[in-house]
Amino acid sequence: MAEIVLQGVTKSFGKTEVIHKTDVTIDDGEFVVMVGPSGCGKSTLLRMIAGLETTTEGEVRIAGKRMNEVEPKDRNIAMVFQNYALYPHMSVYDNMAYGLKIRKFSKDDIEKRVQRAAGILELGPYLQRKPRELSGGQRQRVAMGRAIVREPAAFLFDEPLSNLDAKLRVQMRLEIQKLHRELKTTSVYVTHDQVEAMTLANRMIVINAGVVEQIGAPLQVYDDPASLFVAGFIGSPSMNFMPGRRAGDGVEVGEGVVVPLPPGIRDKAGEQVTVGVRPEHFVAASGSGPVFKLHVDTVEALGADSLLHAGFNGTLLVVRIEGHATPQAGTALDVSIMPGKAYFFDTATGKRLKA
């Protein structure tokens, strides 16, 4: 196992900087997820750790050793890709053993490592099968097994579940969680799926257009987003945003609807302020706080709860309601914001306004 440090790392293609200056320390044994939309640079950053991309500036260190000039094969890392990359003519056993064979490991050592990995991943009955005889989830387990037998200092996962269907993704997330608990190996995982990031990570790194927007534990990032981007990207359904204008000690988001600003940020708020509210933080209107008069457009009944899509002042809001008894499409609904659950952002910069 090993600590991974990115110090002042950047990546440019010609004059275009795709990874802006990044400083990140991934602790020994930690599971860190890099999450962001497609094209934000997360896979490029992962490939820089692996040595598959060069760094333009800065330093990559693994286990205290500078890796910038070290070849990928000598970095003592194992990478799991999106497309499995299995040899179709080889058995599962040979796929897992191949990397060890070319490194001249003894037959006994190879057998021991492959059988151990097969036991962890429940692949024992499939060791003599070819990849074409396996399901997508089983093939991905073989790809992980090939990484495990290396006994590397760190695992790097590049969107390994994106080719699986929804049910298999859930199953494989549980498998990866179990795998990390057993091996306790430093792991860096890349995904555009914020649900994967929330459920897998010890810490998550939220990336937007090559810039690290926020680093923190999943629930910390969910409860305390640093910017409009993070607040909108993390959470499903995403946070509702209402553009507003400063009105005294509050923000007017609709005619006569003013959301009060907390005392600690009144002096920091400018003329244009965006108010954010998570779907679950709307409640039936009571006597306190501003009332939002919504017109319910559509209803998504999900079983344990329902999502109401409703219009307010030209903005479509999503409200989460528990249970089956919900307003019908085309009806009116009055809601308020739970006390202390409104978020405020500077509209111009996108930064969160905090006390």
Instruction: Check: CB of residue 21 under 8 Å from CB of residue 6.
Output: no
Phi, psi at 327, each rounded to 5°: -65, 155
| Shared-domain flag, residues 38 and 186 | yes
Instruction: Check: CB of residue 192 under 8 Å from CB of residue 159.
Output: yes
Q: Which two tokens stand for residue 266?
A: 């009144």
| Shared-domain flag, residues 218 and 273 | no
Which stretches of the chain score pLDDT less than 70? 1, 287, 325
Look at residues 225, 258, 288 and tell me which one is the last residue of a structural domain: 225
Q: State which residues form the domain around 207.
A: 4-225
| Shared-domain flag, residues 319 and 339 | yes
- pLDDT tens, residue by residue, 169-228: 888 898 889 889 988 999 999 999 999 999 999 999 999 999 999 999 999 999 999 999
| Shared-domain flag, residues 65 and 179 | yes
Phi, psi at 167, each rounded to 5°: -65, -45
In this structure, is residue 12 part of a structural domain? yes
Q: Distance (Å, rounded) from C-alpha 167 to C-alpha 284?
A: 34
State residue 238's pLDDT score: 93
Helix (H) or strand (E) holding 169: helix 166-183
| Shared-domain flag, residues 210 and 86 | yes
Going by C-alpha positions, the residue among 153, 147, 161, 239 that lies closest to residue 197 is 161
State residue 93's pLDDT score: 95
| Shared-domain flag, residues 21 and 49 | yes
| Shared-domain flag, residues 44 and 150 | yes
- pLDDT tens, residue by residue, 79-109: 988 887 889 999 999 999 998 999 899 999 9
| Shared-domain flag, residues 130 and 276 | no
Phi, psi at 210, each rounded to 5°: 80, 5
In this structure, is residue 232 part of a structural domain? no
State residue 1's pLDDT score: 66
| Shared-domain flag, residues 160 and 124 | yes
Q: Distance (Å, rounded) from C-alpha 40 to C-alpha 147?
A: 26
Task: Give the total number of structural domains in the chain.
Answer: 2
Q: Distance (Å, rounded) from C-alpha 136 to C-alpha 154?
A: 24
3-state SS assignment for residue 218:
helix
| Shared-domain flag, residues 11 and 75 | yes
| Shared-domain flag, residues 198 and 333 | no
State residue 277's pLDDT score: 97
In this structure, is residue 230 part of a structural domain? no
In this structure, is residue 121 part of a structural domain? yes
